[in-house]
């Protein structure tokens, strides 16, 4: 698709919510970032938007405890979801995060695409596969970012990307796998292009749905 890339630098914070009941109205197009708590999710969002502190980063994984909403322009939002998996937090809090994450993924109709982040050295953990299988079942487009790609030299990095692509091929063509690095900007342009296409196609879907709902004149 020959589409001019959106200006992700124009993003601004909207709200933080403990669950979907505290989010704004469920309209427009949302693209959510999800991943294990040590996958580099916040760093990826900051790199994409060129805002150093848009999403809070920490040396202690699991600091994203709420659903964080950011707006690029009216009707186009980025969503930073609570991390899953690794976080060293009390079990009760971890279960609460998991519940709000599951509710958002299952019930938020404006969700039109999902960016799932995995450390390129440790991809496709059980929780990652659960997310991919759910996304495939819902037919939701996924960009799987293999983060911290700068940790590997080009040969092993490319081999890992190919290996992961082969591993998820049976889940359908909706999953796109790319290497990514917040430090060296590997994959940043590709991420921006893909998200732009999702926003545009999501808008088209909303317009189509609206047209389909118009009464037929006899």
Tens digits of residue pLDDT in 34-72? 998 889 998 999 999 999 878 765 444 444 578 999 999
**pLDDT tens by residue, 129-171:** 989 998 998 899 999 999 999 999 999 999 999 999 999 999 9
Domain that holds residue 77: 10-205
Of 84, 94, 93, 192, which Cα lies nearest the Cα of 129?
84
> What's the domain count of the chain?
1
Residue 217 included in any domain: no
Residue 85 included in any domain: yes
Residue 137 included in any domain: yes
pTM score, two decimals? 0.86
**Burial 30-59, CB ≥16 within 10 A → b, else e:** bbbbbbbbbbbbbbbbbbbbebeebbebee
How many whole angstroms separate alpha carbon 86 and alpha carbon 94?
10
DSSP annotation of 139 reads: T
**CATH number of the domain within which 158 lies:** 3.40.50.300
């Amino acid at each position: 698709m020959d589409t001019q890339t959106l200006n992700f630098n124009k993003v601004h914070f909207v709200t933080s919510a403990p669950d979907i009941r505290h989010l704004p109205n469920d309209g427009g197009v949302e693209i959510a970032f999800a991943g294990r708590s040590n996958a580099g999710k916040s760093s990826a969002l900051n790199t994409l938007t060129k805002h150093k502190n848009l999403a809070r980063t920490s040396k202690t994984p699991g600091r994203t405890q709420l659903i964080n909403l950011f707006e690029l322009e009216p009707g186009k939002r980025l969503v930073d979801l609570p991390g899953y998996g690794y976080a060293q937090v009390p079990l009760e809090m971890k279960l609460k995060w998991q519940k709000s994450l599951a509710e958002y993924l299952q019930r938020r109709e404006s969700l039109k695409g999902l960016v799932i982040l995995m450390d390129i050295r440790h991809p496709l953990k059980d929780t990652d596969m659960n997310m991919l299988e759910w996304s495939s079942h819902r037919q939701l487009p996924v960009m799987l970012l293999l983060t911290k790609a700068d940790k590997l030299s080009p040969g092993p990095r490319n081999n890992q990307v190919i290996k992961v692509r082969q591993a998820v091929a049976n889940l359908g063509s909706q999953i796109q796998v790319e290497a990514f690095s917040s430090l060296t900007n590997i994959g940043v342009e590709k991420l921006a292009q893909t998200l732009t296409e999702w926003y545009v196609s999501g808008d088209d879907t909303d317009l189509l749905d609206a047209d389909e709902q118009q009464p037929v004149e006899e």
